[in-house]
Amino acid sequence: MLRPIVKHGERVLQTPALPVTQFDESLHTLVDDMLQTMYAAPGIGLAAPQLDIPLRVCVIDLTVGKRGGEVITLVNPVFVERDGMQLEEEGCLSVPGFQATVPRPSRVVVKGQDVHGHEVVVEGTGLLARALQHELDHLDGRLFLDRLRALQRDLIVKKIRKLRRVGKW
């Protein structure tokens, strides 16, 4: 089922998500809905708080569903390692229409669980490292805007406020 994606300004996007404690059918349904919503958007990653669900769950598929078997689902993920630096432009499904160059680690290792509660470890470089950091930021109540210099962030936020005032946000 497609679910609405919440946009910048919603409290759930600024609040750290809660750990998942129940690995049941509702979690499987949430992950399926997240994937459908992400592909429809289209995007390469989505975190549960973006669907107004304050749980530590995210999905990533760098192929946007074009190649099977490349979906990464992480429940209760945490960083084990982060190193290097990359500067690339990124956007966000919760901040549609805006992009900015964001500093991110060039390599990360993340440990979490799958939808059954089994431990998984994911190592990523390049775009995958960027996507992992982006989605874990969502789980920690942060947006890519929070990683920008104040002037750049303020310009984007002012534009969003203007869009909100005229009913286009």
Cα distance between residue 48 and residue 59, in whole Å: 9
Residue 154 identity: D
| Mean pLDDT, the chain, integer | 97
Verdict on whether the full-model pTM lies above 0.85: yes
The residues carrying an active-site annotation are 135
pLDDT digits (tens, 9 = 90+) for 19-68: 999 999 999 999 999 999 999 999 999 999 999 999 999 999 999 888 87
pLDDT digits (tens, 9 = 90+) for 60-105: 999 988 887 799 999 999 999 999 999 999 999 999 999 999 999 9
Residue 114: its pLDDT value, please? Answer: 98
Whether 136 has a pLDDT exceeding 90, the answer reads yes
| Nearest Cα to Cα of residue 159 among 150, 146, 168 | 168
DSSP class of 67: S
- Structural domain boundaries in the chain: 11-165
Residue 67: its pLDDT value, please? Answer: 81
| Nearest Cα to Cα of residue 90 among 52, 38, 132 | 132
Q: Which are the contacts of 163, defined by CB distance < 8 A and separation ≥ 6? A: 169
Cα distance between residue 19 and residue 46, in whole Å: 16
Whether 124 has a pLDDT exceeding 80, the answer reads yes
Residue 60: its pLDDT value, please? Answer: 98
* Mean pLDDT value of segment 135-157: 97
| Nearest Cα to Cα of residue 49 among 40, 38, 58 | 58
| Nearest Cα to Cα of residue 41 among 56, 26, 55, 61 | 61
3-state secondary structure of 18: strand
Banded model confidence at residue 10, pLDDT cuts 50, 70, 90: very high
Q: How many CA atoms lie within 13 A of 160 on its CB side?
A: 17
3-state secondary structure of 81: strand
pLDDT digits (tens, 9 = 90+) for 138-147: 999 999 999 9
Instruction: Decide yes or no: CATH 3.40.50.720 for domain 11-165.
Output: no
